[in-house]
Structure 1
Amino acid sequence: MNTFGSLFRLTTFGESHGPALGAVVDGCPAGVPLLREQLQAALDRRRPGQSTITTARSEPDTVEILSGVFEDKTLGTPIAAMVRNTNQRSGDYDKLKAEDRPGHADAVWRERFKHRDHRGGGRTSGRETLSRVIGGTIAEAYLARDLPSLSTVAYVSQVGNLVAQVPSPGLTRALVDAHPTRCPDASVRDEMSRRILVAKEAGDSLGGSIDVRVEGLPVGLGEPVFGKLKALIAQALGSIGAVTGVLWGPPDLLERIGQPGLAFHSVKDAYGGVQGGLANGEPLQVRAYFKPPATLAEHAKGGRHDPCIMPRAVPVLEAMVSLVIADLVLQMNARPHTP
């Protein structure tokens, strides 16, 4: 189960402390403009060592395109891209050959597979998400060609018990990236940074949430019954290791859900952009909840782990949502259109 998607397919490979990690994308149409610099810019948003509130592991995450692109356009053949690991400290994990970390997947992987890579968690490491960012960036390149009005922007909406105000329409990635927390709310983001730093120094961690807003989806995107747009996005976001819950709809949905039907259905954005499993023309809105990272105490104080994963996870969520949309657009285009 290392492949995601039906027609637009992403396969990820590699381990946290192996020679490299990467992605193979199959199903991307030919002729899509794609530069190596696009992939690099996306990976730079996810890479470690961005600021004092993230892990101190220093990786340039330099991407190499191995196949599927010629003269800066996709060929319609499998696109393979790779990032070599350069800053592993595998010796830090020697004791984990015999010990299992609380809150991690060490014990269940040993029980399930009888053999595992203990260095940094192997495939269970958050470093695997760089492969998803590669795939999502290729999906976005395809969508930019065929759906130029589409916009997918994620932002940190909560850290600990600090909750950001809902931003106005027209939010851009540049505005989100303007602060290390990737929270666009100026009234709470500095305090978010301070609390993350306090947790980092104490060997503690913080969870929270990320909101994703998609504008410009074609009406009817999605497949009825088992291929509902909201179901596929839930699968995509739920496959990210640190995600512990997914909520569709506007940010205040939990408050609205207690309303009588006349009040609830009188607001057009109550459905989060999805009705009957299909896009309804309104902005798609979804929230992913993140548990606090499980690396704690003295092991966390070494500085090689994120005390709060959300700032670096923003481009990962955007990537996974873009992969779902690209796959559904291909499926919709493959169906015969009746007059």
Structure 2
Amino acid sequence: MNTFGTLFRMTTFGESHGPALGTILDGCPAGVPLTREQIQVELDRRRPGQSAITTARSEPDQVELLSGVFEGKTLGTPIAAIVRNTNQRSGDYDKLKAEDRPGHADSVWRERFKHRDHRGGGRTSGRETLCRVIGGAIAEAYLARDLPSVRTVAYVSQVGDLVAAVPPPGLTRAQVDAHATRCPDERVREEMSRRILAAKEAGDSLGGSIDVRVEGLPVGLGEPIFGKVKALIAQALGSIGAVTGVVWGPPDLLERIGQPGTVFHSVKDAYGGIQGGLANGEPLQVRAYFKPPATLMDHAKGGRHDPCIMPRAVPVLEAMVSLVIADLVLQLNARPHTL
């Protein structure tokens, strides 16, 4: 199960401390404008070592396009891209050959496969998500050509018990990226940064949430029953290792859920842009909850780990949502009646 998607298919490969990680993207139509630089922009947003509140592992994460693109346009053939690992410190993980970390996949992978790569978590490492960012960048290039109204923006909405205010419509990635926490709320983001740094120094960690907003989706996008937009996005976001819950709807949905139906259904944004499993024309809204990273105390102090994963996970969530949308658009265009 290393492939995601039906028609717009992404396969990821590689381990955290192997020679390289990469993506094979199959199903992207020919003629889509795409350059290495477009993908690199998104990888730079996810890469480690970009600020004091992230892991100290310093990787340039320079993408190499191996196939599927010629003269700045996709060929319709499989697009293969890799990122070479250059800053591994595998010795940091030697004692984990026989010692499993609580909260990680170590013990269950050992039981399931009887053999595993202990270096940095191997395939279960968050480093695998760079492959998804590559796939998402290609998906966004396709959407920019065939559905240019779509705008997908994610932001950190909570760190620990600090909750950000809901930003107004029209939020941009540039606004989100203006601060290392990737929280657009000036009221709380400095305190978020201080708490993340304090957790890092103490060998502790913090969880929270990321909100994703998609504007410009056409009414009716999605498939009935098992292909519902909310079902596919739940699968996409739930496949990210640190995600522990997904909620669709406005950011205050959990507060509204106790309201009687006459009140709940009187507000048009109550459905988070989805009705009957299909996009309803309103902005699609979804929140993903993240558990605190499970590498703690001596393991955290001795290695290079993120004390709070959300700032670097923002482009990963955007990528996974974009992959879902691109796949649904291709499926819809393959039918006799399109939007």
TM-score, L = length of structure 2? 0.99
Map of 1:304 onto structure 2: 304
| CA distance in structure 1 between the partners assigned to 2:23 and 2:49 by the alignment | 22
Map of 1:237 onto structure 2: 237
Q: In the alignment, is residue 184 of structure 1 matched against residue 184 of structure 2?
A: yes
| CA distance in structure 2 between the partners assigned to 1:281 and 1:97 by the alignment | 51
Q: In the alignment, is residue 57 of structure 1 matched against residue 57 of structure 2?
A: yes
Map of 2:87 onto structure 1: 87
SS in 1 for 2:294: coil
The within-5 A match list for 1:91-106 is 91-106=91-106
Out of 301-310 and 85-94, give the one that drifted further. 301-310
AA of the residue aligned to 2:302: G
The within-5 A match list for 1:102-117 is 102-117=102-117
The within-5 A match list for 1:9-158 is 9-158=9-158
| CA distance in structure 1 between the partners assigned to 2:223 and 2:90 by the alignment | 44
Structure 1's 88 and 249: CA in aligned 2 closer, same or farther, altered over 3 A?
Answer: same
> Residue 303 of structure 1: CA displacement?
5.6
Structure 1's 338 and 5: CA in aligned 2 closer, same or farther, altered over 3 A?
Answer: closer
| CA distance in structure 1 between the partners assigned to 2:73 and 2:310 by the alignment | 32
AA of the residue aligned to 1:184: P
| CA distance in structure 2 between the partners assigned to 1:61 and 1:276 by the alignment | 40
AA of the residue aligned to 1:288: A
| CA distance in structure 1 between the partners assigned to 2:97 and 2:257 by the alignment | 47
> Residue 302 of structure 1: CA displacement?
3.3
Aligned residues of 2:92 and 2:302 also touching (Cα < 8 A): no
Map of 1:316 onto structure 2: 316
> Residue 84 of structure 1: CA displacement?
0.2
Q: Calculate the aligned-residue CA RMSD, in Å.
A: 1.0
> Residue 338 of structure 1: CA displacement?
8.6
Structure 2 gaps, min length 5: none
Structure 1 gaps, min length 5: none
> Residue 299 of structure 1: CA displacement?
1.6
AA of the residue aligned to 2:59: E
| CA distance in structure 2 between the partners assigned to 1:315 and 1:250 by the alignment | 20
Residues 3-32 of structure 1 show CA distances to partners (whole Å, capped at 9, x for unaligned) of 000000000000000000000000000000
Map of 2:216 onto structure 1: 216
The within-5 A match list for 1:199-210 is 199-210=199-210
| CA distance in structure 2 between the partners assigned to 1:300 and 1:185 by the alignment | 28
AA of the residue aligned to 1:203: G
Residues 254-274 of structure 1 show CA distances to partners (whole Å, capped at 9, x for unaligned) of 111100101000000000000
| CA distance in structure 1 between the partners assigned to 2:224 and 2:51 by the alignment | 43
> Residue 113 of structure 1: CA displacement?
0.5
| CA distance in structure 1 between the partners assigned to 2:298 and 2:215 by the alignment | 43
| CA distance in structure 2 between the partners assigned to 1:338 and 1:118 by the alignment | 48
Aligned residues of 2:92 and 2:303 also touching (Cα < 8 A): no
| CA distance in structure 2 between the partners assigned to 1:169 and 1:218 by the alignment | 17
List structure 1 segments (4+ residues) > 4 angstroms apart after TM superposition.
none
| CA distance in structure 1 between the partners assigned to 2:305 and 2:93 by the alignment | 13
| CA distance in structure 1 between the partners assigned to 2:40 and 2:219 by the alignment | 32
Residues 72-119 of structure 1 show CA distances to partners (whole Å, capped at 9, x for unaligned) of 100000000000000001111111111111111100001001111111
Map of 2:169 onto structure 1: 169
Taking only the aligned residue pairs, the percentage that are identical comes to 89
SS in 2 for 1:152: strand
AA of the residue aligned to 1:129: T
SS in 2 for 1:157: strand
SS in 2 for 1:336: coil
Aligned residues of 2:96 and 2:118 also touching (Cα < 8 A): yes
AA of the residue aligned to 1:181: T
| CA distance in structure 2 between the partners assigned to 1:109 and 1:147 by the alignment | 40
AA of the residue aligned to 1:197: L
Residues 230-287 of structure 1 show CA distances to partners (whole Å, capped at 9, x for unaligned) of 0000000000000000000000001111001010000000000000000000000000
> Residue 148 of structure 1: CA displacement?
1.0
AA of the residue aligned to 2:174: A
AA of the residue aligned to 1:18: G
| CA distance in structure 1 between the partners assigned to 2:84 and 2:278 by the alignment | 39
SS in 1 for 2:315: helix
> Residue 40 of structure 1: CA displacement?
0.7
